Structure 1
Amino acid sequence: MLLWLAVCYGAYSACYLAHLSWGATLSSDYAGRSRIFAWWQAGVLVGMIAVLATPVIVEGALHYDHQTRVAAMPWLVAALLPLRVLIAVSTVREPIGDRPHVPPRWIDYLRLMLQPTIARLLIADLVIGTAMGMNSALFFFYFGMVKHVPLLDITILLFLNLCGSLCCTPIWNYLTGRIGKHRAAAVAFILNAVSLLVIAVMPADRVIGGIVLFLVGLTLSAGPLLLRSMMADAGDEEYLRSGYDRTGLISALFAGTNKLGLALAPGITFLGLGFTHFDPVGRNGSAALATLTAFYIGVPATLGVITAALIVGHRLTAARHAAICAELAAKKQPH
């Protein structure tokens, strides 16, 4: 199990890094990158919705048992992933690179992490990734033990949550052209924090829960979409500064913060729950349930506000990026 998990996640990291840096090179336009990553995020959400719909169909419509419905999810991924990769590499042409590259060194990663623009984006990605990772890790526990929602209904709530995220992807893309990527991201993180507080006070009703979780989903797609689009813009700034294309290295750093956030979230939450003798399969006292609520509602909401305050100070605006592109274009002109 350990060996094949290592192989699986190692392969996933390679795919994720290549996919992320590939998308960053498809356009150098400020708004164009937002559109690319909007479609990228939409694809991610469609995939997640398809996987989540599988157990609902297998158990709810086809009446198979719980074990069969869980096993159907990885089989779906294993069947579709090679096909989708084949479609991507055969239909999307690799951009012709005209920027010089040098073999990366460990010191290059450190230097990039110390660049103000990149450092701000990495910290924001880590903090909001940890917050969302907490919500993901505790979703079934919170709604099952605090809200007392049946297991199949929780899966439906998660499905509706992702549907809301998918529906709002074009809206965040539109807002980037009106108020800029960093302000749109700050608005999304604040709204996500507020939506968590709404979840805390909403009644345990199936219809109300479905509506609320759908609306909460409207705030979720902005972080991955906008932060990665801003990451691509930072690659242009770095190229102007250093004279070398560091898109792959910057993508690798973002892949690292993504995984660090996903690792920190369950580590912090389950370690904290362990101190209150939380039982994932049995009854829990008031202290354990209060801690569960704090880690699902309070901590992620606070982290969302912190991320909003951090990202609103992002200096690589549309005007600044346009100036960078103009300088790069001027350097290409023959003298």
Structure 2
Amino acid sequence: MTAPTAAPPPAAAFDRRDGLRYGALGLPLAFVALPLYVTLPDHYARQFGVPLATLGALLLALRLLDAAVDPALGRLADALLRRGPGAALAAGAVAALALALGFVALFFPPVTGGAALLAWAAGALALTYGAYSLLTVTHQAWGAQLGGDEAQRARIFAWREGAGLAGVLLAASLPSLVGLGWTAAALALALLAGWLGWRRAPRPTAAPRTSGVTGWSALMQPLRRADFRRLLAVFMLNGTASAVPATLMLFFVQDRLQAPASSAALALLLYFGAAVLSLPLWLRAVPQLGLARTWLAGMVLAVLTFAGAAGLGAGDLGGYYAVCVLSGLALGTDLALPGALLAGQIDAHGERGRSDGAYFGWWALATKLNLALAAGVALPLLALLGYSPGARDPAALTALTVAYAVLPCALKLAAAAALHYALIRAHALAPGPLRLEIHP
């Protein structure tokens, strides 16, 4: 039995200026994430001739290694935040610099083939992933410590993810417009601006210090919470459903639709632009439906709209753009609501200001596993089924379509069922300390 914890400190108000200052760092974090998870596989396959199976194995290994250290980085974030906001900001500045350097090293390697290229890519990925993880987990833990009811937590994470969507829009357009060199420069400037905004953002109120658990026990504490394990399972299923098409998008556009690579940039702009417009609407639904049911509605909408991609073929670019817009409307729930649900769990268990980083460390691990599975399984599987970049064989293109459109919809449906039965229905039948809904 654990000792009772002191009540978390009350949440301060959070207005639009606060949202801009806190959320600004979400722009460069999403900015760098898109090239890492979407552009990188296609870039190394087409520019340097790295085989898909080799590339998938490399990405899987590095992402698994990166994911393994995320819980430890979460505990580091907790330690930094306990020392005060200044310590967290200083570590964030170092991580931001390392992130910018790793990005440049990854996309501008001094070698262009063989084992040397793979070794360089592995080192650059390790640096980039590590810096990205520390910065992301610390920033998320900071936001969770700001507290508030469901509506306020949704606003806090929506500002961060809304800025992230702006970053994705920039990352989707800049490489094709100005090249990767200027894109790297824009990333560095965005990291600086985001860190300066974070420095002026609302600061969490420190929770009372307790003797509590430490070390390995503290690291594993989140996994002892049944409600967290259920939420994490839903998050992983849903995240894998999104990671698979993100990894395969450029291949689908260029080979299945037989459209130029620049078409993918416009598709991403439409997809994430629709998500930006949808965020305020989803936030209005939260006070009526609650966080969990609003997220469920978004999942169902995503399946109904993205399923249309399975029927597309060569030349169906207009139909693909329509699918991107409609499925993008559902994306807002995936971005803002899961993190807000997690922050509510942390608060409900009286762990705000104590273990936020540990929870978000496991959260980051789940995100990395989603991406690792998408790259490490989907790419080798496609190669096994006979698909390679530039393929026009009908069987190979059918395999690409199934992997890109059908598999993600099946995974999304599984995530929706898990959310309904493991969280919404379970808490309706046996309410515990976690309160998922807000009713008028």
Task: Give the TM-score normalised by the residue count of structure 2.
Answer: 0.65
- Does residue 226 (structure 1) correspond to residue 337 (structure 2)? The answer is yes
Counterparts of 2:207 and 2:353, CA distance in 1:
10
Partner of 2:230: 120
The one of 379, 384, 400 equivalent to 1:270 is 379
Counterparts of 2:276 and 2:286, CA distance in 1:
17
Partner of 2:28: none
Report the AA paired with residue 238 of structure 1: H
Deviation at 1:283, TM superposition (A): 2.3
> 1:196-275 alignment to 2 at 5 Å?
196-202=306-312, 204-239=315-350, 245-275=354-384
> 1:20-169 alignment to 2 at 5 Å?
20-58=140-178, 69-89=179-199, 91-100=200-209, 102=212, 104-169=214-279
4+ aligned runs moved over 6 Å, structure 1 = 319-324
The one of 132, 138, 154 equivalent to 1:12 is 132
Deviation at 1:18, TM superposition (A): 0.6
Counterparts of 1:150 and 1:167, CA distance in 2:
27
Partner of 2:80: none
Q: Deviations over 1:269-328 (max 9, x none)?
A: 012112113212x324233222211111111101111111111242568x977979xxxx
After superposition, the Cα gap between the structure-2 partners of 1:271 and 1:202, relative to the gap in structure 1 and judged at 3 Å, is closer
Report the AA paired with residue 164 of structure 2: V
Partner of 1:312: 420
Partner of 1:333: none
- Does residue 279 (structure 1) correspond to residue 388 (structure 2)? The answer is yes
Counterparts of 2:344 and 2:432, CA distance in 1:
10
Do the aligned residues in 1 keep the contact of 2:310 with 2:406 (CA within 8 Å)?
Answer: no
Deviation at 1:103, TM superposition (A): 6.3
Deviation at 1:114, TM superposition (A): 3.4
Q: What are structure 2's unaligned runs of at least 5 residues?
A: 1-119
Counterparts of 2:319 and 2:287, CA distance in 1:
33
Report the AA paired with residue 134 of structure 1: V
Partner of 2:109: none
Task: Give the TM-score normalised by the residue count of structure 1.
Answer: 0.85
Do the aligned residues in 2 keep the contact of 1:188 with 1:219 (CA within 8 Å)?
Answer: yes
Do the aligned residues in 2 keep the contact of 1:269 with 1:295 (CA within 8 Å)?
Answer: yes
Partner of 2:105: none
Q: Deviations over 1:108-137 (max 9, x none)?
A: 343422322101111111111111110100
Give aligned pairs, total. Answer: 309
**Comparing 71-80 and 246-255, the one that deviates more:** 71-80
Secondary structure of the structure 2 residue equivalent to 1:290: helix
Report the AA paired with residue 131 of structure 1: A
Do the aligned residues in 1 keep the contact of 2:158 with 2:279 (CA within 8 Å)?
Answer: yes
